A and B are shown apart, each in its own frame.
Chain A
Amino acid sequence: GEDVEQSLFLSVREGDSSVINCTYTDSSSTYLYWYKQEPGAGLQLLTYIFSNMDMKQDQRLTVLLNKKDKHLSLRIADTQTGDSAIYFCADRYTGTASKLTFGTGTRLQVTL
């Protein structure tokens, strides 16, 4: 089956850029997503990208997709303490609208 992998932890200083990486195995992924989860809370959709796109920018967020290497990244510019959370990468496999496959999540710690 499909697999999505992320590193577990990232620490950055306030004001720096954060880059969270994700790799996936399924070449038939149609949409790829980034979700944010704050402690004790549910999942907040940050952004998503369609598989025929290379890049998507939304304010401080930039998503890069390299389909050849099956690599997705999320860049957060000017990282703030409020960005501290767990970030999940997820993909939707072709023909399975009900099913998302999630990575293990990357815990982002923002230090002063």
Chain B
Amino acid sequence: NAGVTQTPKFQVLKTGQSMTLQCAQDMNHEYMSWYRQDPGMGLRLIHYSVGAGITDQGEVPNGYNVSRSTTEDFPLRLLSAAPSQTSVYFCASTNEGVLYTFGSGTRLTVV
């Protein structure tokens, strides 16, 4: 009963590098989303998906890409990392939009 799995848990990148944060859920949830958490700002929505093949932008999408080729996976791509993207990233999923399951987070540092 894994729930939402995020990998890696920690990552350090150099400015300009690219990487993909992985998110997988095994609950057959239609809805998935990515948030970033910064001190004093709560969680802000980056991108979300209402089903395989459908994605949309959230509040802070710049610098990030997503795709949803399967129901289970919703990877978040940083195209060219910047220090402003240093944050903790959370992936979440829900089936009916009542109970949300969050992953344990990825702590990203861009130097």
Q: Which residues of A does B touch, CB under 8 Å?
A: 1, 4, 8, 31, 33, 41-43, 45, 48, 88, 90, 92, 96-105
Check A42/B90 contact, CB under 8 A, given A31-B98, A97-B31, A98-B50: yes
| Contact (A42, B33) CB under 8 Å given A88-B42, A97-B96 | no
B42, A92: Cβ atoms closer than 8 Å: no
Q: How far is the CA of A6 from the CA of B92 in the complex (A)?
A: 22
With an 8 Å Cβ cutoff, the count of chain B residues facing the other chain is: 28
Q: Which residue of B lies closest to A89 (CB)?
A: B42
Bound form: Cα–Cα A57–B15 in Å: 48
A8 to B59: give the CA distance in the assembly, Å: 22
Taking Cβ atoms with an 8 Å cutoff, the residues of B that contact A are 30-33, 35, 40-45, 48-50, 58-59, 90, 92, 94, 96-100, 102-105
B96: which A residues are within 8 A, CB to CB? Answer: 97
A104: nearest chain-B partner, CB-CB: B42
Choose among A43, A92, A105 the residue that contacts B102 (Cβ–Cβ < 8 A).
A43
Assess the A103–B102 pair: CB atoms within 8 A: no
In the complex the two chains form, is B43's CB within 8 Å of A98's CB? no
Q: What's the minimum C-beta distance from A98 to chain B, rounded to whole angstroms?
A: 4
